[in-house]
Structure 1
Amino acid sequence: MPVIDSHGCAIDVEVAGPDHAPVLMLSSSLGTTKHMWDPQMAAFTKEYRVVRYDRRGHGKSDVPKGPYNMEMLARDAIAVMDGLKLGKVNWLGLSMGGMEGMWLGANAGDRFDKLILSNTSSYYADKTMWHNRIDAISKAGSVAAIADMVINAWLTKDFQTAHPDVTARMKQMMIATPVEGYLGCAAAVRDMDHREILKDIKVPTLIIAGSKDPATNVAAAEFIRDRIPGSKLAIVEAAHIANVELPDVYARTVLDFLRSN
């Protein structure tokens, strides 16, 4: 797996799939690693050269001192593309990955064929949740302080009951996130305001929302859809980490859009 330097921060990257296929770049949720996308890799790599990476502060990437901001995180993605000599890619980002995707679509749209913004929001008017989450982790010195609360937003209760092994793996992924990295990224989400840039996104865009997602609800997705010219909205019956809860439905939703004219 290559390691790409982004302004002094080492970003751990994995590339899989046919050498000359079109590229699909994946960006994951706060508190997860690139392995969040494991359920889709078999389907995606049949048709695409898939690039996935650990954002700064997560997984095997460096953990610079925070706070971070959304432009910084989006520019890390551009650095990965440049490091791999990729001119244009398709972008699929879930939650934070969708937030980065909005910035990229508005500010570097010529680098993208299509955008998929999944389970995401453009702005948080009430920042209390983020202040509380940052305070809880800071006091405890561990992301474990919020793990039970967050997993209930990530996955429905029914899924957790039916798939305790997957639930445990996702929870452990979250807990393993370095405190400094989580706090730095949480600050970026808290402070983000993409409302005014949505109109500048000219790249063909699909928004995916989970009907049972309490973190980034359907109304947040509709707000984005209504402001990105020509964008489409797909709603799936899942909570926040929709690709884990509905792996096959999610893969099909993504691939159908990427294949469309």
Structure 2
Amino acid sequence: MYYDRAGEGGDAESIVFVPEAGLGGWSWGWQHAALAGPHEAVVWDLRGTGRSDTPPGPYDLETLVADLEAVLADCGIRKAHLVGCGLGGAVALRAARDTNRVETLTLFGTASRGEAFDLEPLFAPPDDRAALRDSLETGLSEEFCEAQPEVCDGIVDWRADGDADREGWKAQVAALEDFDANDWLVEVTQPTRVTHGGADELVPPAAGQALARGLPRGEFEELEGAGHLCFIEHSRTVNDRILGFLEAQTDDE
């Protein structure tokens, strides 16, 4: 598995980003750059994506959580603040329940049941730039795509270089087929912020609200008009809120 780490290390708090199905670590570039200073930031490619290997699938959540633990162990991180989107959010949730390595959760476009995820429109073959651009418009709002065409062009370049092919993507999304956290959400006692774009076409905002309600220490916020990849559209706002959320937890301790 490929990962990249930056920041202070040592006694600094560690933030680990878990990407959406099929998307390379590029998707957290805006957060990685902003948070790798006051904190140690780790971005990794899920198995089946980009610079990580693609062993035969299908994959399950237990395997992806074990991969996450392997990354943490290799980095020497005992506990981390996890930030995940979509499938990455489901992996982070499961890790919070099954391991003792999770301090807090920040989840984007995440639901508690696999049937709430409709991720197919976001996939495109990395060697088809037109398809990459078209599918990107399902993850970002129309307003953002019209206002930021150069940013979208840059994202297409990164997707072509770092996203999963069809085999890897199918193996990853298989982990959501039987995903149903409703019976064990009460076991996830870490402070959790669930954030949803109000115009998310891939995971309904109502599913994010339900997830937050089911968590003992969950809270929900909506970014009006933003799509599934709201942390890209509103990166500055999201970065400030992640930092504020982590600082609040530290102050509570």
Cα shift at 1:169: 3.2
Measured against aligned partners, the alpha-carbon deviations of 1:182-240 in whole angstroms (never above 9, x if no partner) come to 11012222332222221110111111111111112221111111111021112113111
Structure 2 residue aligned with 1:13: 3
Distance 2:221 2:211 in 1: 12
Residue 243, structure 1, aligned to residue 231, structure 2: yes
In the superposition, the TM-score normalised over structure 1's length comes to: 0.85
Q: What amino acid sits opposite 1:243 in the alignment?
A: F
Structure 2 residue aligned with 1:44: 35
Cα shift at 1:174: 4.2
The answer as to whether partners of 1:133 and 1:146 remain within 8 angstroms in 2 is: no
The answer as to whether partners of 2:126 and 2:165 remain within 8 angstroms in 1 is: no
1:30-109 aligned within 5 A: 30-108=21-99
What SS does the aligned partner of 2:202 have?
coil
Measured against aligned partners, the alpha-carbon deviations of 1:83-127 in whole angstroms (never above 9, x if no partner) come to 22211111111111111011011111x211111111111213378
What SS does the aligned partner of 1:195 have?
coil
In the superposition, the TM-score normalised over structure 2's length comes to: 0.87
Structure 2 residue aligned with 1:196: 183
Q: 1:91 to 1:203 in 2, by over 3 A?
A: same
Q: 1:149 to 1:123 in 2, by over 3 A?
A: farther
Structure 2 residue aligned with 1:3: none
Distance 1:143 1:74 in 2: 31
1:87-236 aligned within 5 A: 87-108=78-99, 110-125=100-115, 147=132, 150-174=135-159, 176-236=163-223
Distance 1:173 1:195 in 2: 35
Q: What amino acid sits opposite 2:6 in the alignment?
A: A
Q: What amino acid sits opposite 1:119 in the alignment?
A: G
Q: What amino acid sits opposite 2:36 in the alignment?
A: T
Distance 1:254 1:159 in 2: 21
The answer as to whether partners of 1:103 and 1:197 remain within 8 angstroms in 2 is: no
Cα shift at 1:246: 0.8
Measured against aligned partners, the alpha-carbon deviations of 1:151-184 in whole angstroms (never above 9, x if no partner) come to 2221011111111222233345445422211110
The answer as to whether partners of 1:63 and 1:178 remain within 8 angstroms in 2 is: no
The answer as to whether partners of 1:18 and 1:46 remain within 8 angstroms in 2 is: yes
Q: What amino acid sits opposite 2:62 in the alignment?
A: E
Distance 1:182 1:244 in 2: 21
The answer as to whether partners of 1:143 and 1:174 remain within 8 angstroms in 2 is: no
The answer as to whether partners of 2:194 and 2:208 remain within 8 angstroms in 1 is: yes
**Aligned-pair identity (%):** 24
Moved more, 246-255 or 39-48: 39-48
Measured against aligned partners, the alpha-carbon deviations of 1:3-58 in whole angstroms (never above 9, x if no partner) come to xxxxxxxx101110012211111111112111111112232012101111111000
Moved more, 38-47 or 164-173: 164-173
Moved more, 230-239 or 249-258: 230-239
Consecutive unaligned residues in structure 2, runs of 5 or more: none
Q: 1:226 to 1:148 in 2, by over 3 A?
A: same
The answer as to whether partners of 1:209 and 1:221 remain within 8 angstroms in 2 is: yes
Q: What amino acid sits opposite 1:192 in the alignment?
A: F
Cα shift at 1:141: 11
Q: 1:170 to 1:192 in 2, by over 3 A?
A: farther
Moved more, 187-196 or 171-180: 171-180
Distance 1:202 1:23 in 2: 19
The answer as to whether partners of 2:116 and 2:204 remain within 8 angstroms in 1 is: no
What's the C-alpha RMSD, in Å, of the aligned pairs? 2.5
Distance 2:146 2:78 in 1: 43
Q: What amino acid sits opposite 2:66 in the alignment?
A: R
Q: 1:18 to 1:189 in 2, by over 3 A?
A: same
What SS does the aligned partner of 2:57 have?
coil
Structure 2 residue aligned with 1:252: 240
